[in-house]
Amino acid sequence: MTKSTRIAGARRLLLRLLAVLAVFAVVAAACGNDDDDTTADAPATQAPTAAATEAPAPTEAPVAEAPVSDRCGDPARLGNSINFLNWADYIDVGILEMFEEECGVSVTMDTHTANEEAVAKVDAGNSGYSLVIVTDYAVEIMSSQGLLQALDMGEIPNVANIDPNQMDPYYDPGNVYSLPYQYSTTGFAFDATAFDAPPTSYSAIFDENPLCGQSSLLEDQREVLGAALVYLGYDWNETSQAAHDEALEVVLDARDCVTGFDSANYIGNLAGGEVLAAQSWGFAAGIAYLTNPNIRYIIPDEGGTIWQDNFVIPADAPDPYTAHVLINYMLEPDIGALITEYTIGYTPNLLVPPLLSDDYHEVVSGAGLELTDEIRDRLVWQVRGEEHSIFADTWSQIIAAG
Amino acid sequence: MAEHTAPSTSPGPSSTRAPARRRVAPLLAPGLLWISVAYVVPGLLVVVYSFLTPKLGGGVVWEATLDSWDQIVAKGRRSTAGWGTVGAAVLRGAAAAAAVSVPAVAAARYLGRRISASLALAALLGALVAVNHLAAEYNNYTAVFARSVVWSALATIICIGLALPLAVFISSRRSPVTKNALLIAVMIPFWTSMLVRTYAIRFLFANTGPLNNLLETLGLDRIVFLNTRFAVILGLVYTALPFMILPLYAAAERVDRAQMEAARDLGARPPQVFADVFLPMVKPGLIVGGVMVFVLSVSQYLVPTLLGGGKTNMIANLLELQFGEAFNWPLGAAIAALFSVVTLVSLYATVGRRDQEQFL
């Protein structure tokens, strides 16, 4: 069984895309001009690199037999199957197959594309999910509404592997309900060839946007307004009306210059040159870098956000024990490495970094994704409470404006 | 519009109808049940939710409040909206009515009709323009309503303009093979997911897409097309066009060409034949197609999202914000309820009861 990391997968996808694009290019440029055909043969076929560590040898025994691996918890209590709700495109599905082979538990994964969606599914009750992955603030909302059950750390010995920096977060003090899965940041990604000097401030997209018509902001009220607020010198989580009035002006001005508010397509747009600068999630800049090595990522001087996705177990989970085992499994160093190679996020697992491949390190250093202490100091968590409904009010004015 | 006799829908003798009705009642039951479960109950739930308290994380707390309606009706009012806005609305409406009345009256004269109907039409249009201006200036929600209605109306008009000649052309083909081939060509887009088709438009018209590449190779300037109003309206037309062509084709199929020839023989000029003979005969198709295109367009989510890029938003984007990130379901429910009323009123104002009877 060969594991495909995202790095290898993205390259293969790119080649296929380029082939399709080449056909279109031929049709479109029927007049005979081949100006930028150079891209077509640039990325040489790179063999999919095997994961840094060898996957544990799959057991030859039929699935029905008791698991042999010591990473599967107590076979007597382990279920046969589990339903898992994760962000779309956020894990190499090969990992779930490995878990099935190793432990005999078949994992059915559903995906969501917004925390709100995941919260709504669990809130509706009887969702059938025993394991869910949601972002920081959603953990707080879910736990405050009694939708989560406390984790039994006794069943998750690999909790010892987790970076203390990523533990005890604001949204779940003492990690009662959640454990970190991956984390990343929100900052600014750009094509280095489009700037004489790399930008260091949000002014590159707000006041003095040199790339009018070729830049984009996220479609996210908190990220966009937060960036405008810190640009104006306020706190990222500021809720005063006066500050929001100013931030609204900044965003409405920028609105004329950005191609759009886009969280869904900007990675491809950056990679393909459709936009040259974009407010971006860190891991997304890494993915764009795989296609376009000119992509760089920065946290502007004014600051950016840090966020973390987490394992949580719904209060009405059908099989909490198996969920604990699966969490522990994904906190194994070799599995953690496979996950991070795929997401291009940051791993909270201290044993993972030495196992990450050269390809991963190449992306992180090439795109400028290293998370130094100096950068960490500029990052804030986004807090969502009742008082933050003002962000929606301000944002609806932006929606109404066009 | 000229008076004309509607196709006979007059009921038969009532004595034979009543038992027939009783006999079909069991057949209607599943449909009625479906409608009540799938439409009426959720519809009522939307109204109920609009009076409840929002819950962080989505959903509602079962505590009654008028907050959502207050937000839409009073609190959300823009500081700039005042009597000046009303004045501007009246002026705009009057200007629009005046502008339209000139060609409308000229057309009525030419077709030998009474002028009062044309003036009434101009007045209606003026009133719509005034209401629309008020809505656009009143607050964030009504502004999005106004925009959605205007864009959908534009899309409907463009669809009629594109579909009418096509429908007549297809229906006038002699060979059934040609007819079927053309109809299938109209239907083919239905076979592809709308998401895929919308992405295809994005790709085609992107700044670095084939169309702009072609413009550049021809030595022309690239055009920013995506994320503009033009792109959104084009997307609306593109998605809804088959829904206009098919009913119009069905109506044009049934047009009695002998009547048109007779009118011409009796000295009617081509525009008169079109307005007095042809149009009344295809009117049911126009109404069905118009309603379908308008209703589909006004609730579009994909097109404004993918082709508008979050910059040119319609009502569905506003709803998505409230039900998603904003965690304000009651406000979303209130917007949805109010918008249902707006849609019904728009449809009633343009289609009206009397017209509906013709195709029922």
Place of tokens 């920096």: A165
Task: Please check the confidence at residue B245 and state whether its pLDDT lies above 80.
Answer: yes
pLDDT at position A57: 44
pLDDT at B114 over 90: no
Crossing angle for the helix pair A221-231 and A390-400, to the nearest 10 degrees: 100
Nearest CA in chain B to A258: B311
pLDDT tens figures, A252-284? 999 988 999 999 889 999 999 999 999 999 999
Say whether B309 and A259 touch across the interface (CB within 8 A): yes
Higher pLDDT, B165 or A207: B165
The answer to whether residue A30 scores a pLDDT higher than 70 is: no
Question: Residue A34 pLDDT more than 90?
Answer: no
**C-alpha span between B83 and B81 (Å, rounded):** 7
Reading the block at residue B62, the tokens are: 């079962």
Nearest chain B residue to A394 by CA distance is B140
Query: HSE (CB half, 13 Å, CA atoms) of B180?
Result: 3
CB A187 within 8 A of CB A248: no
A213 neighbourhood in chain B, CB within 8 Å: 207, 224
Do the domains A81-183+308-356 and A184-306+363-400 sit in the same CATH topology, yes or no? Answer: yes
The H or E element containing residue A311 is: strand A304-312
Q: Does the pLDDT value for residue B268 go beyond 60? A: yes
Cα R_g (chain A), whole angstroms: 22
Which SS3 state, helix, strand or coil, does residue A382 take? coil
Integer angstrom CA distances of residue A147 from A85, A126, A134, A190, B282: 15, 11, 13, 39, 57
User: What is the distance in angstroms between the Cα of A291 and the nearest Cα belonging to chain B?
Assistant: 16
Nearest CA to B342 among B71, B151, B149? Answer: B149
Confidence of residue B3 (pLDDT cuts 50, 70, 90): very low
* Phi (first) and psi of residue A308, to 5 degrees: -140, 130
What crossing angle do the helices spanning A358-367 and A282-291 adopt, rounded to 10°?
A: 110
Please tell me the predicted confidence (pLDDT) of residue A118. 94
pLDDT at residue number B1: 41
Distance (Å, rounded) from C-alpha B334 to C-alpha A254? Answer: 30
- Nearest Cα of chain B lies from the Cα of A46 at a distance, in angstroms, of 26
Mean pLDDT of A3-8: 51
Three-state secondary-structure class, residue B39: helix
**For A58-87, how does the pLDDT look when each residue is reduced to its tens digit (9 = 90+)?**
444 444 455 568 899 999 999 999 999 999
Q: For a pLDDT cut of 90, what percent of chain A falls above it? A: 73
What is the pLDDT confidence band of residue A211, given thresholds at 50, 70 and 90?
confident
Residue A25 has pLDDT above 50, yes or no: no
Tell me if residue A38 falls in helix, strand or coil.
helix
**Cα of A135 to nearest chain B Cα, Å:** 12
**Are A398 and A251 in contact, with CB atoms under 8 Å apart?**
yes
When CB atoms are compared, the residue of A221, A255, A273 closest to B311 is: A255
8 Å CB contact of A221 and B326: yes
pLDDT value at B79 more than 60: yes
Gap between the Cα atoms of A289 and A369, Å rounded: 11
What DSSP string runs through A128-144? --SEEEEEHHHHHHHHH
Give, in order, the Cα–Cα distances in Å from A79 to each of A93, A107, A184: 20, 10, 32
Q: What is the mean pLDDT of chain B?
A: 88
**Which numeric CATH code is attached to A81-183+308-356?**
3.40.190.10
Beta strand A178-191 pairing with A277-281: antiparallel
3-state secondary structure of A164: helix
Judged against a pLDDT cut of 80, whether residue A389 lies above it is answered with yes
Encoding tokens for residue B12? Answer: 């038969």
pLDDT at B295 over 50: yes
> Taking a C-beta distance cutoff of 8 angstroms, is the pair A114, B324 a contact?
yes
Query: Looking at beta carbons, which residues of chain B come within 8 Å of A261?
Result: 309-311
Report CA torsion sign: A261, A265, A270, A274: negative
**Per-residue pLDDT band at A328 (split at 50, 70, 90):** very high
* Overall average pLDDT of the B27-37 stretch: 90
pLDDT number for residue B69 = 95
> Contacts by B191-198 with C-beta closer than 8 Å and gap 24+?
B194/B239, B194/B302, B195/B302, B197/B238, B197/B239, B198/B235, B198/B239, B198/B302, B198/B303, B198/B306, B198/B307
Looking at per-residue confidence, does B12 or A210 come out higher?
A: A210
Q: Give A83-127 pLDDT, tens digit per residue.
A: 999 999 999 999 999 999 999 999 999 999 889 899 999 999 999
Map residue B321 onto helix, strand or coil.
helix
A184-306+363-400 CATH fold: D-Maltodextrin-Binding Protein; domain 2 (3.40.190)
Domain edges within chain A: 81-183+308-356, 184-306+363-400
| Cα–Cα nearest to A49, from A361, A359, A338 | A359
Give me the pLDDT at residue B344, please. 86
Q: Grade residue B112 by pLDDT with cuts at 50, 70 and 90.
A: confident
Confidence (pLDDT) at B208:
87
Question: Does residue B12 carry a pLDDT above 80?
Answer: no
Nearest CA in chain B to A34: B217
Using a pLDDT cut of 70, give the percent of chain B over it.
91
pLDDT surpasses 90 at B80: no
Q: What pLDDT was estimated at residue A67? A: 52
- Does B132 score more than 60 pLDDT? yes
CB A76 within 8 A of CB A44: no
pLDDT-derived band at A320 (thresholds 50, 70, 90) equals very high
The model's pTM is 0.81
Q: Which two tokens stand for residue B175?
A: 């060979």
- What local confidence, expressed as pLDDT, does residue A312 receive? 98
Cβ contact B226–A395 (<8 Å): no
Q: Is B53 exposed, middle or buried (0-12, 13-18, 19+ CB in 10 A)?
A: middle
Distance CA B96, CA B344 (A): 23
The average pLDDT across A289-298 equals 96
Average pLDDT, chain A: 86
Banded pLDDT at B360 (limits 50, 70, 90): very low
Q: Which of A6-15, B37-46, B295-304 bottoms out in mean pLDDT, i.e. has the lowest? A: A6-15
Assign A298 to helix, strand or coil: strand
Best-predicted range by mean pLDDT (A298-312, B49-63, B68-82): A298-312
Mark yes or no for CB contact A116/B58 under 8 Å: yes
Question: Do A261 and B309 meet the contact criterion of CB atoms below 8 Å apart?
Answer: yes
The answer to whether B290 and B351 are in contact (CB under 8 A) is yes
How far B342 CA lies from chain A's nearest CA (Å)? Answer: 17
Nearest CA in chain B to A387: B56
By Cβ distance, the residue of B59, B218, B313 closest to A402 is: B313
pLDDT band, residue B345 (cuts 50/70/90): confident
pLDDT at B212: 92
Cβ neighbors of B340 (< 8 A, separation 6 or more) are B43, B46
